[in-house]
Amino acid sequence: MMLLEAKGISKSFGGLSAVSEVDLVIGKEELVSIIGPNGAGKSTLFNLITGHIRPDRGTVLYKGEDITGRKPYDISRMGVGRSFQKLNIFPRLTTFQNVQASLFSAKKINRNIFADSCRMLGDEVEDILESVGLGGQSETLGGLLAHGDQKRLEIGIALALNPELLLLDEPTQGMSPGETVETTELIRGLVRARHISLAFVEHDMSVVFGISDRINVLHQGMLIFSGKPEEVKANEEVQRIYLGKSEK
Amino acid sequence: MANGMNRISWLGTSPRNAFMLAGLVALLVLLPLFLGQSWLSITTEMLILALAASSLNIMLGYTGMVSFGPAGIYAVGAYTTGVFMEKLGIGIVPAVLAAPVMAGIIGFLVGWICVRRSAVYFALLTLAFSQIIWTVVFQWYSVTGGDDGLVSVPVPDFFFEITNCYYFMLAVVSVCLFIIWKIVNSPFGMTLQAIRENPNRVEFIGVNVKHYQLASFVISSVFLGIAGSMHCVFSGSAFPDYAYWVKSADMLVICLLGGIYNFFGPLVGTVVYTVLTKVISEYTMHWHLVLGGIIVLIILAMRKGVVGTLANYWANRKSAAA
């Protein structure tokens, strides 16, 4: 059984079709990428899956259960974590607290109103920070971290949910080549170490072809191809509308 | 906060801070020895106002919800105690205990509607509801005394002695502030702060934001109700002014003056605001104008409030020295 199955999902914004009739599947422990030109509907697709917006048509199944149109907090609680294209952290909380807040929610202790939260779950928080390469930055305010570190913190926040499915929207956006390599390794490592499934949107083709088990190509809101990296490279249509421009 | 190893868990702070806190409490306990009746009375009012402002700050500073209507809930607390005692002849203990319950219930009903909207729409809804409460208080003569207010709440003689009243308020306010301190430093409090920082992101870590905002609203209301009730006990009266938007504005200004991102902000804000008011009004009848000017200057010069700015200054000095 597939972990996630989106069937024929569509969404238009005021007559402009952002995503149309997309079928997307993500298997257990699969690492898939979603590529496509700007405006192809990649982020919208993530937003449809995670409950940020409701599809006009189609269904989203997670572990066989219909989650179409459910609230983001419900879907997150079921084990779907995500990061965002634009930086989306808690800027005036420390790096430690950013992850801790997420962990409180995951462990359902965020209703506890009297315990002293200061170092609660400290070891687990530090482990997560360590695993995304932010060890030693616990006490820095999230908003004061360097751009690349904030992107990694986002992944840390999502990881604290202990997700089975992780959706990362442009995880290496704005990163230096060195950081990009580190983050790529990080993503690959996460899937292996935690046995999770991961889907990511990415513009950097070296990352996409480097680590994807399967690549999904979106164009003008439609999924035009889905296959292994070498199949994508060999596909003429994909070459014509997308890769031709960015590949030398 | 940085050093979690050295922390008294039940108190939720470091031994050094606990020591300073003990000093402050000792000072407050000894205060009646130094202050005259008039200033002791002003200080008692300050205690109550500080509790009200701290209650508001659970929403404002910790959850990021700008409410323009805390005075409405404050008045619910004051009038519950006042009406129970003056109109229904109920004793002071149940009359005081009923205040946070009533404020909590009204807070739940009002909050349930208000949290459906955010930002400025939320603020306007809270303003509208507080004005509704004001109107009810102002016009319901048979129960609230209308624009005359309740002027002869039969408070026990014990409270007529200002020193007794001061110690009583000091005890109640200290206990309430300690509970608020525990709440904002709990996992629940951390979740509220995450909502303040980024409500949209919080949805994606599995938190139903509206539920938490409502909880914050209700907790804030309960403590506002206690503050209102204390004011009624202190003054032996309750007036429609308690619910008026000007009172809400006072509380907001106090929080901003002191700094909303620090627990002690509203407390320091209360002292600065009250002392400025009293001192300036002794010199000029146009004290509102002068006070307004000073507040504008403080807020412009200290964007994070008095406490926030000082805390930053000390942190910078410390890191510069290290």
Residue B133 lies inside a defined structural domain of this protein? yes
Report the chain A residue with the minimal C-alpha distance to residue B183.
A113
CA distance A63 to chain B (A): 18
**Strand (E) or helix (H) holding A167:** strand A165-169
Residue B320 lies inside a defined structural domain of this protein? no
Where residue A245 falls among pLDDT bands split at 50, 70, 90?
low
Out of A73, A117, A118, whose CB is closest to B203?
A: A73
User: Total structural domains in chain B?
Assistant: 1
Residue B291 lies inside a defined structural domain of this protein? no
Where residue B5 falls among pLDDT bands split at 50, 70, 90?
low
Q: Residues of chain A with pLDDT > 70: what percent?
A: 97
- Between B41 and B7, whose confidence is greater? B41
- pLDDT score at A38: 85
Task: List CB contacts (< 8 A) between A96 and chain B.
Answer: none
Fill in the amino acid letter for B122.
F
CA dist A124 → A16, A104, A111, A159, B281 (Å): 45, 11, 19, 11, 56
ipTM for this prediction: 0.91
Task: List CB contacts (< 8 A) between A106 and chain B.
Answer: 205-206
- Distance separating alpha carbons of residues A94 and B188, to the nearest angstrom: 16
What is the extent of the structural domain holding B134?
2-249
Does the beta-carbon distance from A117 to B4 stay under 8 Å?
Answer: no
Whether pLDDT at B4 is above 80: no
In degrees to the nearest 10, what's the CA dihedral of B305, B307, B309, B314? 180
Residues 39-58 of A with CB under 8 A from B: 50, 52
Lowest mean pLDDT among A223-232, B9-18, B153-162: B9-18
Residue B310 lies inside a defined structural domain of this protein? no
Q: Residues of chain A with pLDDT > 90: what percent?
A: 81
**Does the beta carbon of A27 lie under 8 angstroms from any beta carbon of chain B?**
no
Out of A77, A97, A100, whose CB is closest to B206?
A: A77
Residue B273 lies inside a defined structural domain of this protein? no
Where residue A248 falls among pLDDT bands split at 50, 70, 90?
very low
Out of B187, B189, B206, whose CB is closest to A161?
A: B206
Average pLDDT over residues B116-121: 92
Residue B199 lies inside a defined structural domain of this protein? yes
Whether pLDDT at A154 is above 90: yes
| 3-state SS record for A180-231 | HHHHHHHHHHHHHHHCCEEEEECCCHHHHHHHCCEEEEEECCEEEEEECHHH
Q: Residues of chain B with pLDDT > 70: what percent?
A: 98
pLDDT in tens, B273-307: 999 999 999 998 888 899 899 888 988 888 888 99
CA distance A179 to chain B (A): 24
Residue B56 lies inside a defined structural domain of this protein? yes
Residue B311 lies inside a defined structural domain of this protein? no
CA distance B196 to chain A (A): 9
Where residue B40 falls among pLDDT bands split at 50, 70, 90?
very high
